Amino acid sequence: TVLIVDFGSQVTQLIARRVREAGVYSEIVPFNRASEALERLQPKAIILSGGPASVTAEGSPRAPQGVFESGLPILSICYGQQTTAVQLGGVVEGGHPAEFGRADVVIKEPSALFEGVWEVGKRYPVWMSHGDRVTQMPEGITVKATSENAPFAVATDEKRRIYTTMFHPEVVHTPDGAKLLANFVHRIAGIQNDWTMAHFRTAEIAKIRSQVGGARVISGLSGGVDSAVASVLIHEAIGNQLTCIFVDHGLLRQNEAEEVVRLFREHYNIPLVHVDARERFLAALAGKSDPEAKRKIIGGLFIDVFEEEARKLGGADFLAQGTLYPDVIESVSFTGGPSVTIKSHHNVGGLPERMNLKLVEPLRELFKDEVRALGRELGLPETFVGRHPFPGPGLAIRIPGEITEEKLNILRQADAIYLDEIRKAGLYDEIWQAFAVLLPVRTVGVMGDARTYEYVCALRAVTSTDGMTADYYPFEHAFLGATATRIINEVRGINRVVYDITSKPPGTIEWE
Ligand code: XMP
C-alpha cells in the first residue's frame, strides 16, 4: 500500500490513480488523519499531495512528524514539497496562492526517480504550480532538476529516500509523470505489482462471503455499469442468496431495459425481479416541470417501489450498492461553509435506514476506470462496460419542462440515432457523455410543401475525466449535418436540431 496524504489539491485523486495504474494499491487520507492511517495501513511508501494553502500561513496543514521518522520512502509534491522543506528545517517564502502552468525542467543530476525516463542535461515539459517556493532546502536534500522559475523543481535526498517535486507528476500535462510515479513505487519503494482486477476479484469475493455469511442480499440495478458490476461480483460470491431488483421507471434509453434483463437472466442466470413501474412514474411526474421537483419525485418513488418489491421477496438483510472510491474519499475542506446544492443527485439514500438493511459495497475501493476493468474481468460485454454515464433520473432531466410519454418516445428515437452515428464514426470512446435533449419549444419548418410545427432537439457531447468539468466535443460539421438530417427525417415530432457548445463550468453537463 502507498499512503497518500491529502492537503486538499484538486488533483490528489489522480495520484492514487497513477499509483494503481502502476499496479500498486493506494489510499488517500486527509492530512489530519495521516497519523492514524500510518498505523492502520502499514504502508510501504508515502506521497504528500499538493494543496491550496500557503505553508507560511499560520495554522496551515502539516504532515504528521511520524511520516518523516518512519524511514519510508517519501514523495512530496508541490505543497507537499514545501511542508517537507519546512518540517525538516528548510525555508519557504511566499504568501502566493498556488496556480498551475506549463514549464520545462532541466535535469542537473541523476536521481532514482528519473531512471530510464529522464536524462541529465536534457529538458522536459511538466505542469508546475506557481505560488510559494522553497528558498532553502533542509540538509541532505539537493537539487536534481530546475526550471526557469523554480530552482528546486526536483530536490531529493537519495540516501534517506526523500523525493520532492514542485511540479505535478500525476497530471497528464506532465507527459512522463506516470513513469516517475512508477519509478517511485517500484524502483525506490520496491513494491511489487499487487493490484490487478484478477487479484481484486478473488480477494473481494472472500470479503463478501465473510461479511454476508448465509444472509440474503438485494441489489438495485439501474442499467449502469456500477450496479451491474457490483451485482455480478456479489452473485459470484454468494450465488442465489442475491436477488436483483430492476425498477423500470420508463425513463431509460431505447432498448435499455430489455438489455439489462437479458444480460442478467440469460447471460448470467442471476435472479432478477423486473418491475414495470413506467405508468406510476409518468403519473407522478404529470404536470411537474421544475427540475428539482422532478428529481425528488423520481428518487422518492424509486425508493417506494424498491421497498415494496423487497417486501414481496420476504425482505433481506443486506443492500448491495455500487458506491465508488471518489464517493468515500474524505475531502479536505478549507472553506468550511456549506456548499450550494446545484443538483440533488438521485440515489437510494435513506433506503438502508428505512428498511433496516446493512450495506455491501464491493466497489468502495475502486475508481470508475477500475470498475470497468473489473467488469471486463467478470465477462460483462464491452458495450455494457464502456457505457457513458447515465443519470439516475434518466431522460426526465433531458426533457426540460413536463414529461409525457409522447416526448419520451420522440427523445428515445433521436437519442438512439445520435448514439448510432457516434458509434459508426468511431467516436464513442473519445466522448465522456453524449445524448439528445428534447426542448419544450416548437418551431416552424417546411417538409415537402407543407409547413411543420414541431419540437427542437439539442445534441450534447462532452469530454471530461470526472464529470466535474467538461468541454463540449468539437464534432466535424459534416458529422453534425448528417446526424441532424437523419434525426429530422426519421423522427416524427422533431423538425430542428441544434448543437450545444457550452462547457462546464459555466454550463452543467445535463440540461437540468
Ligand atoms: P452535471 O449535469 O451536474 O452532471 O454536470 C455531472 C455528471 O453527473 C450526472 N448526473 C447525475 N447522475 N443522478 C445521477 O446519478 C443525477 O441526478 C444526476 N444529474 C447529473 C451527469 O449525467 C454527469 O455524468
User: What is the pLDDT tens value at each position of the chain, 512 positions in all?
Assistant: 999 999 999 889 999 999 999 999 999 999 999 999 999 999 999 999 999 888 999 999 999 999 999 999 999 999 999 999 999 999 998 866 556 789 999 999 999 999 999 999 999 999 998 788 899 999 999 999 999 888 999 999 999 999 999 999 999 889 999 999 999 999 999 999 889 999 999 999 999 999 999 999 999 998 899 999 999 999 999 999 999 999 999 999 999 999 999 999 999 999 999 999 999 999 999 999 999 999 999 999 999 999 999 999 998 999 999 999 988 887 676 544 444 556 665 455 678 888 889 999 999 999 999 999 999 999 999 989 999 999 999 999 999 999 999 999 999 999 999 999 999 999 999 999 999 999 999 999 998 899 999 999 999 999 998 788 899 999 999 999 999 999 999 999 999 999 999 999 999 999 99
CATH 3.30.300.10 fits 398-499, yes or no: yes
Nearest of 27, 22, 11 to residue 366 by alpha carbon: 27
Q: Where in the chain is the domain with CATH 3.40.50.620?
A: 204-335+342-385
For CATH 3.40.50.880, list the domain ranges present in the chain. Answer: 2-188
Q: Is 253 in the pocket of ligand 1 (CB under 6 A)?
A: no
Binding residue per annotation — 466?
no
Cell, residue 410: 420522440
User: What would be the CATH architecture of the domain defined by 2-188?
Assistant: 3-Layer(aba) Sandwich (3.40)
Give distance in angstroms: CA of 466 to centre of ligand 1.
Answer: 11
Q: Which pTM value belongs to this model? A: 0.86
Give yes or no for residue 346 CB within 6 A of ligand 1.
yes
Distance (angstroms) between ligand 1 centre and the Cα of 345 equals: 7
Check pocket membership of 220 for ligand 1, CB cut-off 6 A: no
- 162-165 and 272-276: which strand pairing? unpaired
Domain with CATH 3.30.300.10 in the chain: 398-499
Q: Is 170 a catalytic residue?
A: yes
Find out whether the beta carbon of 393 lies less than 6 Å from any atom of ligand 1: yes
- Compute the Cα dihedral for 21, 22, 23, 26 and give only its sign: negative
Q: Which residue has the cell 447515465?
A: 390
C-alpha pair distances (Å), 436 with each of 133, 143, 178, 419: 48, 53, 36, 9
Active-site residue, selected from the candidate residues 39, 168, 199, 236 = 168
Tell me the CATH class for 204-335+342-385: alpha beta
345 Cβ closer than 6 Å to some ligand 1 atom:
yes
Q: How far is the CA of 467 from the centre of ligand 1 (A)?
A: 8
The alpha carbon of 326 and the centre of ligand 1 are apart by a number of angstroms equal to 14
